[in-house]
Structure 1
Amino acid sequence: MSTLVERLQALKIIPVIAIKNADDAVDLGRVLVENGMPSAEITFRTPAAAEAIRRMRAAFPDMLIGAGTVLTTAQVDEAIEAGVDFIVSPGFNPTTVRYCQQRGVAIVPGVNNPSLVEQAMEMGLSMLKFFPAEPSGGVNMLKAMSAVYPVKFMPTGGVTPENIKTYLGLKTVVACGGTWMVPADLIDNKQWDKIGQLAKEAMAALA
């Protein structure tokens, strides 16, 4: 079984998704898988998140599915029960990290400065989300932290088609989270063909 880092490295881009209607989960998952992007970070920004994860997992057992914007231990429980592969949080909350470790699920917490990286390392973490990436100094900030800390990063927040290759060019970056290929309005309007095209273009641009 590949590790989470290995799976993320193979994918390179993780679509970060706010889904309002769980009925859209299977169609969305299908269009991502069919266009070379078999992954999703479903954020707990909407009440539909857990059910959307559950349906996507049932339809696509091999898809890499994360739960994003996880802020509480209750949400960790919901995500695990829905079948996620990993948890993502926007910040570094030791309580949430510890709970995930107790429950045996990988967590990628958000950090954006050296102090938070050191706190995460103290808890045994070596894979972190750099968030919000662009407002926190972007590639230059990542270069500075990567020079001193033996950890891997998943930048999210301000990652675009124009800058993603620069991020992925850093040895410490395993993948980037992005929203541009899964705009909320296209999901709401069930414009699967357009989402598929955006996903295909995003993957092709990395070749």
Structure 2
Amino acid sequence: MTEKKGLSALEVLKNGPVIPVIVIRNPDHAVPLAQALLAGGIRVLEITLRSDAALESISRIRSEVPDALVGAGTVLSGQDLQAVAKAGGYFAISPGLTPNLLATARQESIPLIPGVASASELMLALEAGLTELKFFPAQAAGGVEMLKSFNSPFPQVTFCPTGGITLQNYKEYLSLKNVACVGGSWLVPADKIEQREWSAITRLAQEAVAGAAGTF
């Protein structure tokens, strides 16, 4: 297995209470967006592989915004994970876990944070030695009550719930002892990115960080 020389999955999840789930369609938006989020107090950035600009955006942020911890979401295959590592991503987040993805993760130097939605999927992740997981799709899969139920049989697991997380409910998730952070797209509205309203995104980040302060 390749030695993990960078951040661990736990270090990624504990670097901030909110991880923005970002879709970038123009790589020229990547650096100013990252700078806007950093100015608002958010350091960990998840760039989803839902556009052709994602990998270049990760590379630009890694090169030009060194204080940001940029990684990828929507990592669906071993090839995706390899591409993220090559682009300079610090981590890879997947909606699920497959044998191919796990095998590749064991050979790569960046941590994989896979998604689970049930106890059986969680147990498979534990068998693979993974204890930092994405709970996805959080709201549809049982939300806060499901995570509360997971805590007793799986106290060693740390979660980042994503999917249906909003400004209205994120504090409830963050109050749970087995949740390190949440992932949400409300911090990075597509229209604000397209219109380059970076100050508005900084304000959204500041609001989220300030609101999270009283939940731990």
TM range (shorter): over 0.9
Q: 1:99 aligns with which of 87, 98, 104?
A: 104
In the alignment, what sits opposite 2:177?
Answer: 171
1:181 aligns with 2:179: no
Contact 1:97 1:109 in 2 (8 A): no
Q: 1:42 aligns with which of 41, 44, 47?
A: 47
1:193 aligns with 2:199: yes
Contact 1:12 1:176 in 2 (8 A): yes
Q: CA deviation at 1:108?
A: 0.5
Q: CA deviation at 1:123?
A: 0.5
**Equivalent position amino acid for 2:174 in 1:** L
Contact 1:111 1:129 in 2 (8 A): yes
Q: CA deviation at 1:57?
A: 0.6
Q: Which moved more, 1:12-21 or 1:158-167?
A: 158-167
Aligned equivalents of 2:137, 2:185: Cα separation in 1: 13
State the Cα deviation string for residues 1-56 of structure 1 (Å, max 9, x = none): 86442342240100000000111101101101111112210000001000000001
SS at match of 2:55: helix
SS at match of 1:27: helix
State the Cα deviation string for residues 64-119 of structure 1 (Å, max 9, x = none): 11210011222112111111111000112121122012112200101000000000
SS at match of 1:173: coil
**Equivalent position amino acid for 1:133 in 2:** A
CA shift in 2, pair 1:189/1:135, >3 Å: same
In the alignment, what sits opposite 1:70?
Answer: 75
Contact 1:32 1:196 in 2 (8 A): yes
SS at match of 2:212: coil
1:6 aligns with 2:18: no
SS at match of 2:51: coil
In the alignment, what sits opposite 2:141?
Answer: 136
Contact 1:112 1:132 in 2 (8 A): yes
In the alignment, what sits opposite 1:83?
Answer: 88
Q: CA deviation at 1:63?
A: 1.4
State the Cα deviation string for residues 140-185 of structure 1 (Å, max 9, x = none): 0011112101211110001112211111111111110011010112
Q: CA deviation at 1:127?
A: 0.5
Q: 1:113 aligns with which of 118, 124, 128?
A: 118
Aligned equivalents of 1:65, 1:122: Cα separation in 2: 27
Q: Give the structure-1-normalised TM-score.
A: 0.96
Q: Which runs of 5+ in 2 are unaligned?
A: 1-5
In the alignment, what sits opposite 1:151?
Answer: 157
Aligned equivalents of 2:75, 2:124: Cα separation in 1: 19
SS at match of 1:76: helix
Contact 1:19 1:48 in 2 (8 A): yes
